């Protein structure tokens, strides 16, 4: 069965077979990708083998075009919330690993989770990714469910967290049902590496050492009613060409078996972490050029799957990557439990890994707006039931524009009115005006204008 998900022999053969594709063969593949129907594994392998700067640049140009056609200039914004750094696994790359005795362990109480939520909402966030280590006592499904409830319970006159995605270790079907019941959005889980031998080396003990449990987690989540899934690879553990092909195989397998592929793909790269040998000495380091190329290839291979980039990467690289296919970014992130408090807890010895982009949310929003991107806090799809198979039915014919653009503008407007600095507000208001002028469909423009006007007049949380 596992060979059906990831067939190593096939992947390595494809990498070998496509090593010497000619320039014209590669251009045929790029042109096919521009039709936004995705690529076969063999075609993806051929693109991964591209070495020349000219063809790499053509791949990036195509990724930019596809991204603009499907996602427009919107970038969805979220922040992670770490609720515990207790963990019984010993992943060689992670600061939370159980053998890291120098890490200060902390599990937030429900009151502290509410306080972190309030800090995030006061920054202007609307979407949270709840993250924790794996621990039967501190991070079990009941705790995660209670934490989700606590986040959703916090409201002030203007704002609340409207969508919680979770990144937690694989659960049983019953436990997945418990967290689904609380109204989670995406269940995100990274395979880390699809290469079994490397997987076993990197996860020497604890429940995570079981490759099968991890690779079958999405099917379990799906059978518990979670149809919004987020996949990912931790780049740097093994050869990136293999990892990209394996991840695409996993997506294909899910489409075939449960009828829906991942809604998002995350592309974390290993960052420095306290007492984590594989983070200090990355087994397969990927330089920035290769990283940009692989993100662009993912955009070509699965055009309708969101690509998520975290603050692991620097401001400079993030600026380049959002042109190449990234559709969601985190901003103002802290990777330690209680990290949003202004207190002594903001210490490196409580963090999972070191972030590369330290800017505040407002600085990120200003920068995006100055560069013509619409920061979106939209949660419309999830709340109108446009997820999973329904979501695919909407996105595939490209109807996403009809909902996403007006909704993005409205949530951006909310941010500008309620939380932005004056400078960001001025830049943002000008951007909204110019975006409204770009609408070609009069009715859609009128509808967006009306929603924005209602927001200006004090209404909140309007979406279509």
193 binding ligand SAM? (CB under 6 A) = no
Among 12, 190, 284, 463, binds ligand SAM (CB under 6 A): 190
- State the binding partner of 279 from ligand SF4, ligand SAM, none, CB within 5 to 8 A by kind: ligand SAM
Site for ligand SF4 in 60-119 (CB under 6 A): 87, 89, 91, 94, 96-97
26 binding ligand SAM? (CB under 6 A) = no
Q: Which is nearer to ligand SAM, 336 or 369 (CB)?
A: 336
CB atoms within 10 A of CB 411: 29
286 binding ligand SAM? (CB under 6 A) = no
Alpha carbon distances (Å) from 371 to 16, 77, 141, 444: 40, 15, 41, 24
Site for ligand SF4 in 207-236 (CB under 6 A): 208
- State the binding partner of 179 from ligand SF4, ligand SAM, none, CB within 5 to 8 A by kind: none
Under a CB-based contact definition with an 8 Å cutoff, are residues 243 and 45 in contact? no
Alpha carbon distances (Å) from 96 to 101, 106, 173, 201, 238: 9, 11, 26, 17, 21
How many chain residues bind ligand SAM (CB under 6 A)? 21
Site for ligand SAM in 213-242 (CB under 6 A): 234
189 binding ligand SAM? (CB under 6 A) = yes
Q: And the tokens for 114?
A: 């509410």
- State the binding partner of 312 from ligand SAM, ligand SF4, none, CB within 5 to 8 A by kind: ligand SAM
State whether the Cα torsion 254-258-260-265 is positive or negative. negative
Gap between the Cα atoms of 138 and 86, Å rounded: 7
Q: Nearest CA to 106 among 334, 343, 351?
A: 351
How would you classify the pairing of strands 74-84 and 374-376? Answer: parallel
Q: Nearest CA to 20 among 57, 48, 56, 46?
A: 46
Residues sharing a CB contact under 8 Å with residue 380, sequence separation 6 or more, in sequence order: 386, 403, 404, 407, 463, 464
Q: What is the dihedral of CA 113, 267, 34, 439, to 10 degrees?
A: 30
Site for ligand SAM in 60-79 (CB under 6 A): none
Between CA 45 and CA 53, with CA 48 as vertex, the angle to 5 degrees is: 145
- State the binding partner of 463 from ligand SAM, ligand SF4, none, CB within 5 to 8 A by kind: none
Q: Which is nearer to ligand SAM, 34 or 282 (CB)?
A: 282
At closest approach, how far in Å is the CB of 139 from ligand SAM? 8
CB atoms within 10 A of CB 26: 22
At closest approach, how far in Å is the CB of 101 from ligand SF4? 14
- Please state whether 125 falls in left (phi above 0), alpha (psi between -120 and 50) or beta: beta
Among 6, 128, 270, 292, binds ligand SAM (CB under 6 A): 270
Alpha carbon distances (Å) from 182 to 170, 270, 415: 17, 31, 26
At closest approach, how far in Å is the CB of 353 from ligand SAM? 4
195 binding ligand SAM? (CB under 6 A) = no
Annotate each residue in 298-317 with x if it binds ligand SAM (CB under 6 A) or - if it does not, as one string.
--------------x-----
- State the binding partner of 97 from ligand SAM, ligand SF4, none, CB within 5 to 8 A by kind: ligand SF4
Length of the chain in terms of residues written: 464
Among 38, 72, 124, 133, binds ligand SAM (CB under 6 A): 133
Q: For the chain, how are helix, strand and coil distributed in percent, rounded to 5?
A: 50, 10, 40
Among 72, 133, 337, 380, binds ligand SF4 (CB under 6 A): 133
Annotate each residue in 142-181 with x if it binds ligand SF4 (CB under 6 A) or - if it does not, as one string.
---------------------------x------------
Q: Which is nearer to ligand SAM, 43 or 192 (CB)?
A: 192
Report DSSP state, residue 216.
T
Q: How far apart are the first and last CA of the chain?
A: 42
Q: Which is nearer to ligand SAM, 219 or 461 (CB)?
A: 219
Among 103, 131, 147, 297, binds ligand SAM (CB under 6 A): 131
> Which spans of this chain sit near ligand SF4 (rule: CB under 6 A)?
87, 89, 91, 94, 96-97, 133-134, 169, 208
| Interface contacts to ligand SAM, rule CB under 6 A | 93-94, 131, 133-134, 167-169, 189-190, 192, 234, 268, 270-271, 273, 276, 279, 312, 352-353
């Amino acid at each position: 069965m596992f060979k059906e998900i990831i067939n190593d022999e096939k992947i390595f053969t494809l990498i070998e077979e496509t090593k010497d594709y000619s320039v014209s063969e590669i251009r045929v593949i790029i042109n096919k990708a521009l039709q936004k129907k995705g690529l076969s594994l063999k075609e993806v392998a051929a693109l991964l083998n591209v070495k020349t700067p000219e063809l790499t640049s053509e791949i990036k140009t195509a990724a930019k075009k596809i991204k603009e056609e499907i996602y427009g200039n919107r970038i969805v914004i979220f922040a992670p919330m770490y609720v515990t750094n207790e963990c019984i696994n010993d992943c060689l790359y992670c600061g939370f690993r159980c053998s890291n005795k120098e890490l200060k362990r902390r599990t937030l109480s429900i009151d502290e989770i509410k306080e972190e939520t309030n800090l995030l909402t006061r920054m202007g966030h609307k979407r949270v990714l709840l993250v924790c280590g794996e621990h039967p006592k501190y991070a079990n499904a009941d705790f995660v469910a209670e934490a989700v409830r606590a986040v959703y319970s916090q409201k002030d006159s203007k704002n609340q967290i409207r969508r919680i995605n979770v990144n937690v270790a694989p659960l049983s079907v019953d436990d997945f049902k418990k967290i689904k019941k609380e109204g989670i959005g995406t269940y995100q889980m990274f395979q880390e590496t699809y290469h079994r031998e490397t997987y076993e080396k990197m996860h020497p003990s604890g429940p995570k050492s079981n490759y099968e449990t991890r690779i079958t987690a999405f099917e379990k989540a799906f059978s518990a009613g979670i149809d919004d899934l987020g996949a990912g690879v931790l780049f740097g553990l093994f050869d990136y060409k293999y990892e990209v092909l394996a991840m695409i195989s996993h997506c294909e397998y899910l489409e075939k078996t449960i009828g829906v592929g991942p809604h998002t793909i995350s592309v974390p790269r290993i960052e420095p972490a306290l007492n984590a040998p594989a983070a200090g000495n990355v087994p397969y380091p990927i330089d920035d050029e290769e990283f940009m190329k692989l993100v662009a290839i993912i955009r070509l291979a699965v055009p309708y799957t969101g690509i998520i980039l975290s603050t692991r990467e620097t401001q400079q690289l993030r600026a380049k990557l959002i042109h190449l296919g990234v559709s969601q970014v985190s901003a103002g992130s802290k990777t330690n439990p209680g990290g949003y408090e202004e207190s002594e807890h903001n210490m490196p010895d409580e963090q999972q890994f070191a972030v590369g982009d330290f800017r505040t949310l407002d600085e990120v929003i200003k920068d995006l707006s100055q560069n013509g991107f619409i920061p979106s806090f939209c949660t419309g799809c999830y709340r109108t039931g446009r997820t999973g198979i329904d979501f695919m039915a909407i996105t595939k014919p490209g109807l996403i524009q009809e909902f996403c653009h007006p909704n993005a503008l409205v949530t951006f407007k909310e941010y500008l009115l309620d939380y932005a600095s004056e400078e960001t507000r001025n830049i943002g208001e000008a951007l909204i005006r110019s975006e409204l002028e770009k609408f070609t469909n009069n009715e859609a423009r009128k509808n967006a204008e009306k929603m924005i006007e209602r927001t200006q007049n004090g209404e909140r949380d309007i979406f279509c």
